Amino acid sequence: MPILDTLKSLLSPFMPGQALPTPPPAVPPKAPDAPMKLPLDMSGFAQFQHLMEAREGVRYVVYEDSLGKPTVGIGHLVLPRDSLKVGDKVTPQQVAAFFALDGMAAWLAAGRQMAAAGISTTKAPDFQVWLASVNYQLGVVWNTKFPNTWELIVDGKYDEAADALTNTAWNKETPVRVADFQKALRALPPHV
């Protein structure tokens, strides 16, 4: 019976014939000294999605990518949990769900990498879009695959980092994507 009594006491304010609880008085928010910033900066995520749609394309039928791996949507690598095989069709909702997961992982990794490299979204607001693109294509640990390039980025040697990508297998496979990142690196403000 104690559970039933507890449930009744919780619901009693909302039972017929009972008055609804009075909401607390409204407290006007304090005017911020500086513009408020959400803990997670999503301001460029839509731009990132548009870039991925342009670079990856959007496909509603599972196909094999250049490495022979089943892929669908906006470059989503099909996983066993997706229960899809080459030739299967997906809906726009599935494409959106795949991108929400894959894109958010790339976006968050880019934010962490920018923080680790001392690159501010305030001084380089569009860089996260380009860095997220790298994470989306190469994986969120791309910097371990290119340790010299990553070290140059962390050291603020952005032009050298861009140059280091020229003679890579990545550049031979997808030169447009490398050129995107090289241009973004060269556009960064000087490292302080």
Does position 104 have pLDDT exceeding 60, yes or no? Answer: yes
Q: Where are the domains of the chain?
A: 44-186
Q: Which CATH class is domain 44-186?
A: mainly alpha
* pLDDT of the residue at 122: 86
Kindly state the helix (H) or strand (E) to which residue 46 belongs, with its residue range: helix 45-56
pLDDT band at 42; cut points 50, 70, 90: confident
DSSP symbols for 111-162: HHHHHHHT--TTTSTTHHHHHHHHHHHH-TTHHHHSHHHHHHHHTT-HHHHH
pLDDT reading at 174 higher than 60: yes
**Quick check: 39 pLDDT over 50?**
no
With a threshold of 0.85, does the pTM exceed it? no
